Structure 1
Amino acid sequence: MSTVSDVASAALLLTGALFCLLTAVGVLRFPDAVCRLHAAAKAQTLGLLLILLGAALQLPLRYAVPLVLVALFQLLTVPVTTQVVGRTAYRTSSLHTPSLVEDELAHRIPPEERAPSAEG
């Protein structure tokens, strides 16, 4: 049983670390804040949850509560943070507009409430 949990834990830890590495690459490569938010929010959260699950397989049961609290804190704070950062990026016009497929905030935030675009 120990070998099976060790292999499963190693697989979860390595997969989580890979997602965290891909997050870092995405944050460096994507052109603007909104695109970077997708990498930071989605892949980083999945990577952290996989790492926590892999750690949970190796740790005694008494550490389950702190691990669950870390996971819940991550799941509750990341959507709020990305929403605030995304709205701020939109209002300051620090977007890479060619990458937008549809501007869903155009009817909610008039152009006069946004900063002038840096793209000209």
Structure 2
Amino acid sequence: MIVAALLVVSGLVVLISAIGFARLPDFFLRMHPPALAFTLGSWCVALAAALYFSFLQQRAALHPLLIPLLLAITVPVTTVLLARVALFRGRTSGRGNVPPSLARPGAPESDPESEKP
């Protein structure tokens, strides 16, 4: 019953996230629901798998918990890279709904290659 409840909770969280994703108008706003669903949804599924296999094998099966740990490391990096690409594309295309660069107006953009000794 506990495993089934965790899987149902995970499915509901992902469904709510998908509805929010479809309703939000902007890419930057659409980045949040999947990230929030990842957090709760993946932990619910991993906990359900750990409980199921622990009862099935009659010993602690903690290897399913590695999946959300690895996702917790990689998802923020991917999200930051996607946001940076979206900012760059928005600024180069001249769209008005993109925040301005933090560089001082008129200052040249720093080039990492030119700063090497």
TM-score normalised by length of structure 2 = 0.69
Structure number with the bigger relative contact order (C-alpha 8 A, sep ≥ 6) is: 1
Is the CA contact (8 Å cut-off) linking 1:23 and 1:44 kept in structure 2? no
2:7 equivalent in structure 1: 13
CA distance in 2, matches of 1:32, 1:109: 26
| Structure in which a larger fraction of residues adopt helix | 1
Alignment partner of 2:40 out of 41, 46, 54: 46
Q: What CA RMSD, in Å, does the superposition of the two structures yield over aligned residues?
A: 2.9
1:74 aligns with 2:71: yes
Point out the structure with max Rg over C-alpha: 2
Is 1:89 matched up with 2:86? yes
- Give per-residue Cα distances to partners, 1:52-76, cap 9 Å, x unaligned: 11222211246421x1221111111
Structure 2: stretches of 5+ with no match in the other structure: 110-117
Point out the more displaced range, 46-55 or 81-90: 46-55
> Structure 1 unaligned runs (5+)?
1-5, 114-120
Percent pairwise identity = 34
**Counterpart Cα distance in 1 of 2:13 and 2:29:** 16
Distance 2:69 2:104 in 1: 32
- Whether 2:16 is the aligned partner of 1:22: answer yes
